[in-house]
Amino acid sequence: MTTLRHRWLTLLLALALTSGLASCGGGGTALPAPEFVGDWSAPGVNLSLSADGQIAWRKVDEDGSSHSVIAPLSSFSKKKFSAGFWLFSSSFHVDKPPVRDGAVWRMTVDGVELIRLDDDGAVPKDEV
């Protein structure tokens, strides 16, 4: 009887933990709008958003220290997106969503204007 009770308590605890993580953004990967997908860059900042909902972000401060996030998107809107889960999450504010300016795509995230790189990782030649 004690073993059966222990198994039920373990199962209930596992379900509660799973439910709690799902409500904190750990329940799946959010997908970005297509115009956000790609590799974006600015001096000292790189952002990569994949169509399957992965984010890689790196910022190098003036003193040389760097901060990075590599995680699945936990939420996405055209005004804000978050990556990671629970205590290990980062949020990004979209000041200006992606817009095409000639041959160049631009967006501003957390006050930094980013340019979407070409498929070969270069800044577009027609950068204005």
Q: What residue ranges do the domains of the chain occupy? A: 29-116
CA distance 16 to 88: 19
Q: The domain 29-116 is classified under which CATH number: 2.60.120, 2.40.128, 3.30.1490, 2.40.50?
A: 2.40.128
Between 43 and 23, the higher pLDDT residue: 43
Which range is least confidently modeled, 7-16, 25-34, 67-76, 106-115?
7-16
CA distance 126 to 20: 48
* Furthest CA-CA distance within the chain: 74
Between 106 and 4, the higher pLDDT residue: 106
- pLDDT 10s digits, 67-91: 999 999 999 999 999 998 777 889 9
pLDDT at 26 over 70: no
What was the pLDDT predicted at 96? 97
Which residue's entry shows tokens 């790196």?
A: 58
What was the pLDDT predicted at 82? 94
Between 108 and 103, the higher pLDDT residue: 108
pLDDT at 111 over 60: yes
The secondary structure of the chain, three-state, reads CHHHHHHHHHHHHHHHHHHHHHHHHHCCCCCCCHHHCEEEEECCEEEEECCCCEEEEEEECCCCCEEEEEEEEEEECCCEEEEEECCEEEEEEEEEEEEEECCEEEEEECCEEEEECCCCCCCCCCCC
